[in-house]
Every structure is written in structure tokens, then in C-alpha cells.
Amino acid sequence: MRIAVLGAGAMGALFGGYLSRENEVTMVDISRSLVEKISRDGVVICEPDRSAGCYYPAAVSSTSGMAPVDLIIVFVKAMFTRSALEKNKNLIGPGTYLMTLQNGSGHEEILLEFADGQHVIIGTTQHNSAVAEPGIICHGGNGPTHIGCLNGEASELNMIADAFTRCGLETDYCDNVARLIWKKMFTNVSASVLTAVLQVPLGYIAANESAWAMCETLVQEAVAVANGDGMNFDAEEEVEEVRHVCENSPDGITSIAADLKNGRRSEVDSISGSVVKASRRNGVPAPGHEFIVHMVHAIEGKSDT
């Protein structure tokens, strides 16, 4: 497949590197220095077992003159999605699939401005990674990736799922995208956002009694809001799945934690803010998530003083 990955940060580099094993991959990033580094030295992925691999996808800061590709994976921050797709819309042809594996929800609304519902893919992944230095990432943990399309038969995505799986990214497809969107958020709006506020790795959330109590409350609250949308999740099952993610990736550093550490604006409005938005729509209270959104913005505000 011909694949373009928009954003060569931690997750973009991870997927771009792995997928380049068997596909023609182009990494697209606005940072010229990062593009030059990847073009020269490749993408180095340091694995949890301390091994490392180097991969050589193409890397560009401009796609001007390039032909449409089979698949575009969006890994830029949520607030930059529209501008990234606009700048690279020459890569989008009638048969091009647009995939978001970004944290949070609502990204499909922007993708639909550039492709029809049969070519918009929503996904969630249990992989996590962090940037050690430009072009070098630390793969904190792995797990399955699930994808689904907004319209049409999910089975049409079999070719994409197989391509991902062959490259070491175990992937399957499902039909209920609305449920998929909610399910992908439970870890992000609980453990992930707490790693940012506390500046700790994922393992600490499950290991520390007080951190886990907060995490469990956030999961249960998010499940209640999701069920207010008719999703019928089991709260205990989702709590255990979040714990499993934390324990399987004890050294995992989330992107939102890295953003707050480095004084960058985070994606909290499209992550925890999504729960708050749904809460206000369906009337199921979400006071913990409202608190977390304000807490993250307060931390971000420290960089402006």
C-alpha cells in the first residue's frame, strides 16, 4: 500500500516505522529538521525489551506534486487536523481512505470535509510511545488496534487490517464505530490524563492506591456518560481493561503527559472534554471530568506566566 502519515511525532513515527516494513510509507511533518533527521538516519524505535530497530520511511515537509495515496493516517494533534489535511489534500483521491487514530473523539467530523463516509476510518490502539529525541522514540507498550468505517461494510477494511498486522501492528475491524469511539476514550480520559497531571508513567496509576482510586472514578463516570448515549458498557469490565493497559505498559509516557511537561498545549478538550460535552448533551453528570479539564488548562496556563 501507499501510505502517508501526517505527523512524525511519537505515534506517527511508531506506525510509520512499522508500516514501512512492507509498504511505501511517507512521513509528513512541518518540522524540516525532523524530516531531515528521518531522511538521513531513519526512525529508531526502542522497544520495551530494550531492543531497538531502525526503519526508513520517506520523510517530507511538503507533499506538493505527489500523487494520491491509498491511505492517510492522521497523527497530528487534534487542533491541527484540518490544516494538515488542507495542506496535503493533493494526496486524497477518490479511493483514498482517511484514518484517525488520534486520542479523543469528534475527529471524523473534520475528516468528512475531505472524504465521504465510506472512506473515513475511526480507530483506537493500545500502542503508546514517547519521543526520546527527534527521530528516536520509545515504544512503551503494545496491544490490539481496532478500526471501523463510518459508512459501508467494515469488512472492506480487511486489506488495511491485514497490512497492519503483517507489519507487527495487530489490527482488526468492527462494525459499531460509535461504540468504538467511546471505548477508545476510557483509558485516555482516566489513566492517560492522570499521568499528565501527576507527571508519572502509566504503571504508577495502577500501582498507587490514591492514583488508582481517581482513575477508577473517572472510568466509572465516563462509562455512565457513554451508557447515557445507549452504549451499554459494563463499568467493571472497562475498569479492569484500563488497569490491564497500565500494568502492561508500566513505563508508558502518554502524549498529553509529554505536552504538559514541555509546556505545550494539550488535546484535553477533545479527550476529557468529549466526556463533558456528552454529559451536557445527555444529562449524565461528569463532575470529575469537568474538574480534570479545568486542572489541565490551569497547568497549561502556567506556561503563559
CATH no. for residue 132?
A: 3.40.50.720
Note the pLDDT of residue 140. 84
* Average pLDDT rounded to a whole number, residues 161-183: 88
Domain shared by 163 and 257, yes or no? no
* Average pLDDT rounded to a whole number, residues 7-36: 97
Which of 46-50, 94-98, 151-155, 182-186 comes out lowest in average pLDDT?
151-155
Note the pLDDT of residue 198. 97
Give the CATH number, domain containing residue 280: 1.10.1040.10
Give the helix/strand (H/E) hosting 297.
helix 287-301
Q: What's the mean pLDDT when you consider all of the chain?
A: 93
Q: How confident is the model at residue 305 (pLDDT cuts 50, 70, 90)?
A: low
Residues 95-142 have pLDDT tens digits of 999 999 988 777 888 999 999 999 999 888 888 888 999 999 999 888
Tell me how far apart the alpha carbons of residues 237 and 144 are, in angstroms, rounded to a whole number: 17
Domain shared by 145 and 273, yes or no? no
Domain that residue 98 falls in: 2-175
pTM exceeds 0.85, yes or no:
no
- From the CB of residue 174, how many other CB atoms can be counted at a distance below 10 Å? 17
Q: 125, 140, 175 — which closes off a domain?
A: 175
Tell me how far apart the alpha carbons of residues 206 and 212 are, in angstroms, rounded to a whole number: 5
Residues 232-258 have pLDDT tens digits of 999 999 999 999 999 988 988 888 998
Read off the DSSP letter of residue 97: E
Domain shared by 115 and 213, yes or no? no
* Average pLDDT rounded to a whole number, residues 15-30: 98
Total tally of structural domains belonging to the chain: 2
Helix (H, G, I), strand (E, B) or coil at 27: strand
Domain shared by 163 and 260, yes or no? no
Tell me how far apart the alpha carbons of residues 290 and 33 are, in angstroms, rounded to a whole number: 38
Total H helices, total E strands in the chain: 13, 12
Domain shared by 170 and 194, yes or no? no
